[in-house]
Each structure stands twice: as structure tokens, then as C-alpha cells.
Structure 1
Amino acid sequence: MAKKPDWSKEEQAVQAVQLAFDLSNDIQRAFRVSAALQDMSTADMVRKVLQLPYRRARARPRLTVTLKDEDFELLAQKYRLDPQDRAAIRHRVAEELQGFARNYLTDSGH
């Protein structure tokens, strides 16, 4: 009897189809906010609404941002760091983002 091929996760991911939907800003915001309040990714929130299997909690909760060389230059100036010391810049950015979140969460105006 022939054995089913043992697909790696990467090969299985290649077989998946990503769909994109052009929805209004209000609808997109509703999904993002609802997902954030439930500690879910937006994609998992969509899967939940569609009653498909989804992760109950984020596997790696993190924020991402793409920085160009010019951005590192600007941040290095802002923090008075060497533009080549990207680890130090990353550390300072993390501190600033954490400070923003602390202030946002404790500010009664939000």
C-alpha cells in the first residue's frame, strides 16, 4: 500500500491560498479591535467569524515595523546613538513603544 507523502509545514504552507478582501476602513477596524481585545491576530479573528479552526492565543505576540537605513539614521540622531548600533536602537525603540503603551493604558481619555 502506498504511503501518503510526509509534507513538511513549509510545503503545506505553500499549498495554502491567501485571500485578501477590500473592505471599508470601519469593517477592518472592527476586526482589528475585536482581535486585539481577544488577544488574537486579525487573521484568526476572521477565521473565528467564519467558524474555521483558529489559534486561541497568539503564538508570538509582537509588533512589527519595517525600518529603512534612513529610519535608523533618524532614530540614531533622536536617541544620540551610533547609526550602526542597531541593537541599541532597537532597545531604545522597544522602550519608547512600551512607554507609549503604559501611558495609553493609564490615560483616562482613551
Structure 2
Amino acid sequence: MSNRKVPEKWQSNVKAMKAVQVAFDMDEQFQLAIRREALEAGLSPSDQIRTILGLPTNKRPKRPRLTVSLSPDDYEVLAEKYGLDADQQLEIKRKLMDDLILHVKTNIE
């Protein structure tokens, strides 16, 4: 590795680059309990673990969002479901959001 100086605009990322992700293999009930605590506290599971361990967390608010990875095959299936073309990804996303909202309204409320 070279001894080149890190550009000033990247200095704040140096610590993050040195961080190492740690995974915990623990019983499912413990994982679920920590995830539930995180959800109730409005935290990510990672931030909840940091809180439990007494470590600092990032205080910047995060944009709450749900994510799912969709493959080209998934878009084909969804396009067929919604009567759209697979390349109409924005319209498919709108339909997915409608389905998720409907799910919550009919199953959770």
C-alpha cells in the first residue's frame, strides 16, 4: 500500500473505511427481540446494538424507507401482474407501493 495522502475531502471517511462489520450468530429469538427493540426505538438494528453496547450512534436522522431488490425476472413477473411492460419500472414501483399500503390497511389496522 502506498503512503499517499488522502485528499482533504475524503478525510472524514478515513475512520469509516477502517471499520469492520461484525456479524452475530445468535438464537433467532434474541435477534427478533433486538430487532423489535430497534423498531420501537426508531433505530436500525445496528444502532440498537451500538446502544446496547454503550457505543455512540449517528445522530443524523435517517430517511425511513423500506427496500427490496428486484431482478429483471421480478420486473417481468410484476409487469404481467399489473398489465404493464417490464421497462415501466417507475409505474411498477407505484403499483408496488399501492399494494403495500393496501396490505397494511387490510391486515394491520
- Is the pair's TM-score, using the shorter chain for normalization, greater than 0.5? yes
In terms of mean alpha carbon deviation, does 71-80 or 11-20 score higher?
11-20
SS of equivalent residue, structure 2 residue 67: coil
Which one of the candidate residues 56, 60, 64 is aligned to 1:61? 64
Residues 57 and 42 (structure 1), Cα distance of their counterparts in 2 relative to 1, 3 Å cut: farther
Deviation of 1:12 after TM superposition, in Å, equals 2.9
Q: What TM-score does the superposition give when structure 1 sets the normalisation length?
A: 0.81
1:38 to 19, 38, 41: 41
Deviation at residue 29 of structure 1 after TM alignment: 0.7
| Per-residue deviation, residues 41-65 of structure 1 (Å, max 9, x unmatched) | 0001101101111246751211111
What amino acid maps onto 1:53 in structure 2? P
Q: Percent identity?
A: 35
Distance in 2 (CA, whole Å) between partners of 1:40 and 1:57 is 11
Task: State the TM-score, normalizing by the size of structure 2.
Answer: 0.81
Structure 2, unmatched stretches of 5+, are 1-6
**Structure 1: which 5+ runs fail to align?**
none
**How many residues get paired?**
102
Letter in 1 for 2:89: R
Change (3 A) 1:98 1:55: farther
Distance in 2 between residues matched to 1:68 and 1:47, nearest whole Å: 33
Relative to structure 1, the CA distance from residue 54 to residue 41 in structure 2 (aligned partners, 3 Å threshold; closer, same or farther) is same
Q: Alignment RMSD, CA only?
A: 2.0
What is the aligned counterpart of 1:77 among 72, 77, 80? 80
Task: Please state if 1:10 is matched with 2:13.
Answer: yes
